[in-house]
Amino acid sequence: MVVFALLAIGGVGAWWAVRPTPPAPPEVSLDGADPEVRETIDAARKTLLTELRSADAWGRYGMVLRAHNFESAADECFAEAGRRDTDDARWPYYRGLYAEFNQTDGVPRGLPDFRRAWEIGHPDPDYRNALRMRLAETLADRGQLDEAERLFRGDEGHAPGPRELFGLGLIAAARDDLPTATARLTSAVDHPTVRQKAAVQLAALARRSGDTAAASRYQVAAASAPKDPDWPDLFVRDLEALQVGLKARLFRASALQEEGQTRESLKLLLDLCRTHPSAEIYYKTAGVLGLSGDHARAEQSLRESLKRDPDFAPAHYLLAVTLYIQGSARWTRESDREVARAMLRESVEHFRTSIERKPDSADAHRCLGGALLLLGEKAEGVKQLRLAIAVRPERYDGYLYLGTALMEQGERDEGLRNLRSAEQLLPPGDSQPRQLIESLIKGKN
C-alpha cells in the first residue's frame, strides 16, 4: 500500500510538473481611456492574474475587454477560456462573433464556432434560442438551406416568430418558391422588429413575379418605415451590461429613450452635461428635450453644443428645426410676429449651414423651404422644396409640401400633380396624410 501511495504521489507531482503554464493575459493600451473603463479593465486583469487556471476568470476578462471594443485581445481570452472549459457555450459563441464580423480579409468564419456553441447548448431556453437563431442565420447566409430551415422551424409544435418567419421566407426565396416566400414574409412584415427588412424583400419578390404595383407599394413602405432594431441577443446583452464610462451611459440613455422612458433618459443626459460637457452630449440632450416638447430648453442645449464645436453639423440642423418649430408656432400670433420672424431668420441661417455640410438632407431642404415661405421668400422657398424632392424622390412629404405651396401661390395644375404624386407614394395604412391630401385636392377642384 505504501508503494502504491508513493507512486500516486509521484504521479501527481509529475502531472503538475508537465502541466502547461498558462499564457500571460493580453494587455491593451488604455492611453486616453475613460478612467472608469481603465479601472474596470485593470481590475479584471488583476483578478485573472491570481486565477490563471480558471476558465471563468479568462472569460470574464475577455467579456470586459469585448464590452469596451478590445476585440482581438478579448478573442485571445475566449480561446483560453474555451480550452479550459469545453462545456461553456459562451466562449465559442463570442469567438464566432469575432470570426464572423472582424476578419481583416472580410471573409466571415464564424460558422464552426456557432455550430460548436449550439452543440454545447445552454440550460436557459432563451439563451438556447439565441444560439439556434445565430446558427440558423449563418447557415442560411452560407447557402446551407436544409439545415438552416430545420433550425428556424425549431422543435415540433413550435410556432415561428417574426425572426423565424423572415428567415424561412428568405430560404423559400432562395429556392425560387415565390408564393411560400411571399406568404412567410407577409406574416412578418407588420412586426416592428422586421418591418423594413421584410418590406424590402417583399418588393424584390414582387418584382420577380412581375407585379410592379406591389413592388412599388412595398418599396414605399420600406422607405418610410423606421430602421429595424437589431435582433435581440442575450449573449451580446451580457457584454453590454459590463460597459462602463461615458459611452456606456450614452448607450443607456438611448436605450431608455427607445423604451419610452424619456424622463429617465433625460435625467441621465443632464447628469452627463454636468460631468462630461461636450458638443455631442448637449446635442443628444437637446434631442430628448425636443421629443418631449421642451423646445426652449432644447434650443439652449444646442447653443451650448455649438459653443463647444461651431462646425458640428447635426447641431446646426437640430437648432434650425427647433427655431423653425418655435417660430412657426409664434407666427400665428400677431403680437409675437417679430420674435417669430427673428427665429425663422436664424433658422434659415442654420439650415443653410447644415446643408453646406450635408447637401443630401431632404429634411433640411424641406424645412428651409417652409421657413422661407413663411418669411415671404416664395421663389426661394419653392426652390428648396424642389431640391428636397430631388434628393429623396421616393418620399411623399416633399410632394405634399410643394403641392400645397404651389396651390397657395395659384399654380393649380402643378400643385395638383404634386399632391397626386404624394398620394401615390403614401405607405399603406397612413390615413392622416391621405385625408389631408384628399381634402386639398377636393378643395381645389
CA atoms within 13 A on the CB side of 368: 25
- Can you give the CATH number for the domain in which 202 is found? 1.25.40.10
Instruction: Burial-class residue 16 by CB neighbours within 10 Å (0-12, 13-18, 19+).
Output: exposed
- Whether 383 contacts 369, CB under 8 Å: yes
With respect to residue 224, please indicate whether it lies within any of the assigned structural domains.
Answer: yes
Domain assignment present for residue 170? The answer is yes
Evaluate whether 283 touches 305 at the Cβ level (below 8 Å).
yes
Least Cα distance to 232 among 134, 153, 155 occurs for 134
pLDDT at 430: 61
Burial of 69 (0-12, 13-18, 19+ CB in 10 A): exposed
Q: pLDDT tens digits, residue range 246-269?
A: 888 888 888 888 778 889 999 999
Across 105-134, b (16+ Cβ under 10 Å) vs e yields eeeeebbebbbbbbebebeeeebebbbbbb
In a domain, 268, yes or no: no
Domain of residue 196, residue span? 162-228
> Is residue 198, in this structure, part of any structural domain at all?
yes
pLDDT tens by residue, 18-52 = 456 789 999 999 998 889 999 999 999 999 999 99
Give the model's pLDDT for residue 323: 96
Based on the structure, what is the number of domains in the chain?
1
**Would 254 be classed as within a structural domain?**
no
Write down the pTM of the prediction.
0.70
Does 80 reside within a domain?
no
37 within domain boundaries: no
**Which stretches in the chain have pLDDT values below 70?**
1-20, 428-434, 443-445
What DSSP letter does each residue of 232-262 carry, written as one string?
P-HHHHHHHTT--SHHHHHHHHHHHHHTT-H
